[in-house]
Every structure is written in C-alpha cells, then in structure tokens.
Structure 1
C-alpha cells in the first residue's frame, strides 16, 4: 500500500520539478520563486522546496537578487545529449560499413588532448580487437590514434607525444618518436594510416580522419592480418564512409 501511495507522489514531484525547469528557461535574467510558482500553478511552499533541491543538485542556480536561472548541470546534460544524438545519426553508417566489410568499425575523437573511443560497432562475424591497452595510452600503436596524430598541427602533436610514452605493445610497435613522425608524414595510403600488428599481433587496422564540427576524430576498421591484401578494397569503402560520417556529425542539431 505504501509503495502505491509513494509511486504517484514521486511521479508528481518529478513532473512539478520539470515544470519549474521549463519556467526558469523562459527567463533569461532569472525569476523569483513567487513568479515561478504562479506561472507553474504550484503552491509557493512546494516551489521553494523543489527549487532548493534543484539548486542543491546543480540544475538551477540562485542569483544574488533572489532570481533563479538554469545551472551548469543542465548545460552538461545538453552537451552530453547532443553527443548521443550525433552518434545516433552515424551509427547506422558504421553498422553498414561493418556488414559490408565484415570488420568491426571504430569512431574516435580528439578531446581535451586525448584520443578517446566514442563508438564501436561490431558483431559475431566482425569481432572487435581486444582492447587490452586503453586507446588513450596507445595512440602511437593504433591506426585510429595515428590518424588523429597525422592531422594535428605540429604544436598539438608535440604536446600529445610529450605526455604519452611510446609503449612497446608488440614486436612491431613503433617506439621511436622520430620514426613515428616520419611514417605519419609519409603514409603510402594517405589520408589513411595503418596499424600493422602494432597494437595486437594477428590484427591490422586502417583509419581515416573525420570531423564533428571543429573536433578532429578518426574512423577505422580492424581485421585479421591475413586479410591485409584487401586493403585497397577496404580503403575504397572507408574514405567515402568517413565523408558521410563527417557530414552527419557536422549537421546542426
């Protein structure tokens, strides 16, 4: 009986809090609790209680003059939600690439000085590579990371390499900064780059750059090393797919 009584009460509280948030958004310079209560049809005591909770949790901020405006938490939700919407746009494209090539597809972005995996689309016939070392610490050894490094300006590339050691992950990993830069600048399949068993033995990867607005990223696929002779065919699919992904990520929401 208590649960039945508590359920509707909780739902009502959530609805009232959302109505208050909606009301706050209509006042760029803030509005006092009395005005927000009036606009939402809430008792003043209820409005005060919900506003205090929203302030405590960062969804609303109280100004010195007593007005209420949206808090930083709402902006964070908007930013994260925007990223989810953008990824939902390109996920079908990544799935189509996976199905066509029978390879796992990966999407990364260069954010706050780090190379981070944003999406992996794999399947029973296209398993992902075992991520035994995080991509943030293996940019030098993965095609996805090297694609980003290739596109960075000299200052950003130098900054990244100064913060990341070139760990020896396999006997094929490039651990010399000079040699890594030389190969990045002379990739025979540019704008694509490859990882020839440098991250994991038995696996090769190919990646090309993509952009989400001004944010640099990379799109790549992984495959067994014995499928390397299909590289030309894979590039013929990968590059136009990257262009479609960039268009999808750059459309205004």
Structure 2
C-alpha cells in the first residue's frame, strides 16, 4: 500500500480535497475523493484528519462539507479587498433601488474576483456568482476594471487568461476590445449584452480612481445584471442608479 503523501505533494492533495468539496453541492465521501484524486483511501483519510481538525472541512453522515473555517477565510478575503460594511450597504441600496442583483468586483495583482453580491448563497441560477472571474473580457465589471489598467498590464492579463468566445456576441479580437475599452473610459459605464451569457446583460461603473496598475494596485467595480430582453427599456434607469450610488459612496467616504 502506498505511503501517505507528505511534503509539497501532501499540500497539493490537501488543496485538491478542499477544491473537490467546495465544487460540489452535496457532501463528498472519502471514497469519492480518493477516486477523484487517484490515490489510496488511506492517503485521503491521512489528509482529512488535519483538514477537519482545523475546521476547514466538517464530516457529516453523508460525507464531507466545507467547515466553519471557510467562513472566516471568506470574510478575511473580503475585508482585505475592501468589501466591508460600507460595501455591503452600497450593494443593498443598489439592490433595493434598481430591484436587480448587485455585485462588487475587484482587480488586484493580475486577478479579477467578484467578492460580494446580493444574490443568496443558495441561488443556483445567478450567472455572475462570487469567485474568480474567468470571463472578464465578456462582462461589464471585467471591462470596467480592465479599462482602468495601463495597456501593458491589461495585455499581460489578457495574454494570461485569454479571450474565449462564450456567445456569438463575445468580443475576442484585441483591436476591437481595445476600442470597446476606449468607449468604456469615455462613457464611465461598461456594458455587456449577452457576451458572457446570452440570457443576461450587465452594467458596471468604477468605484476606484485611476491608478498606475502597479504592484498592490486594487480597483473596484460596482455592477448589476438583468435579463438581456429587459436591457433596452431599463438601461437608462439602471445606469442612473449605478452612477448615483457610486458617487454617493465615494463622496461619503464609504468607498470599498
């Protein structure tokens, strides 16, 4: 029988276990984890011990689920990226005023992440769930954040993440995308209609003044989503809500 993983390999497998549990909607058994990782059941139990002991996972009668430590890590992540009480209040106001899901997205050190939203955690149909944003070129919040970056920094991001065609509306050409970002900077509002998901449109405004995009640079975008079919009649109203609430947040010293 193979010896339990140790050293860096053990760390990788422990993180694989966390990812496997986080990526499912139901408890995951140790046997299922062993099959997914392609390792022995004894190795999986060897790694599950400290993960459950430290609260990163919890064992239930049906299998393993995220533990209470996940909540603390999530809150720390949000706090360090600027999603404090001011951000939560801002999202709540936008949600109540526009009657639409509101989101807070951040760029830091080459990554774009949606860090908070007004959508309940139990929702299954939200097209823009919190987490790493892999469709930045096709979303309004992604466009807004990329538009704030220097050209060289933006190109490094796009070279690293690519510009996959997600729908027939997705912009995948570099020159056309640059022209789109020029429009975003001039207009102060980014728009995506069916580019990331054919059924949805989104609008975004900046919450952070322009910066140099260097190490430690953090930029925020405020956005909402709505059915694409509703965009023609609601885009003016929604844009007004976003720009007003963003200005109110910044002027009131509550910027994320």
Q: CA deviation at 1:158?
A: 1.4
Q: Matched residues in 2 for 1:81 and 1:234: separation?
A: 25
Q: Aligned equivalents of 2:86 and 2:117: distance in 1?
A: 14
Runs of 5+ consecutive residues of structure 1 not aligned to the other structure: 1-75
Contact 1:208–1:239 (Cα < 8 Å) also in 2: yes
1:220-252 per-position Cα deviation (integer Å, ceiling 9, x unaligned):
0000112212111111110121223443136xx
Q: Determine which structure has greater relative contact order: mean sequence separation of CA pairs < 8 Å that are 6+ residues apart, divided by chain length.
A: 2
Instruction: For residue 132 of structure 1, report the CA deviation from its aligned partner.
Output: 8.0
1:83 lines up with 2:65 in the alignment: no
Distance apart, 1:84 and its partner CA: 8.0
d(CA) in 2 for partners of 1:167 and 1:83?
30
Query: 174, 190, 194: which is aligned to 1:193?
Result: 190
Post-superposition Cα deviations, 1:137-162, rounded to whole Å, max 9, x if no partner, equal 21101001000011111121111111
**Correspondence for 1:158 among 151, 155, 158:** 155
What TM-score do you get using the length of structure 2 for normalisation?
A: 0.59
Q: Which has the higher helix share?
A: 1
Deviation at 1:205, TM superposition (A): 0.1
Per the alignment, residue 9 of structure 1 pairs with: none
Rounded Cα–Cα distance in structure 2 between residues aligned with 1:216 and 1:103: 23
User: What is the CA distance between 1:211 and its match in structure 2?
Assistant: 2.2
Q: Which runs of 4+ in 1 moved over 6 A?
A: none
Deviation at 1:191, TM superposition (A): 0.4
1:122–1:177: structure 2 CA closer, same or farther, 3 Å change rule?
Answer: same
| CA deviation after TM superposition for structure 1 residue 174, in Å | 0.8
Q: Give the C-alpha shift of residue 187 in structure 1.
A: 3.9
In the TM superposition, what is the alpha-carbon distance from 1:127 to its structure 2 partner?
A: 8.8
Q: Which residue does 2:103 correspond to in 1?
A: 106
Gaps of 5+ in 2: 1-72, 212-216
- The SS at the match of 2:208 is strand
Determine the C-alpha separation between the residues in 1 that align with 2:185 and 2:148: 15
- Alignment correspondent of 2:176: 179
> For this pair of structures, how many residues does the alignment match?
175
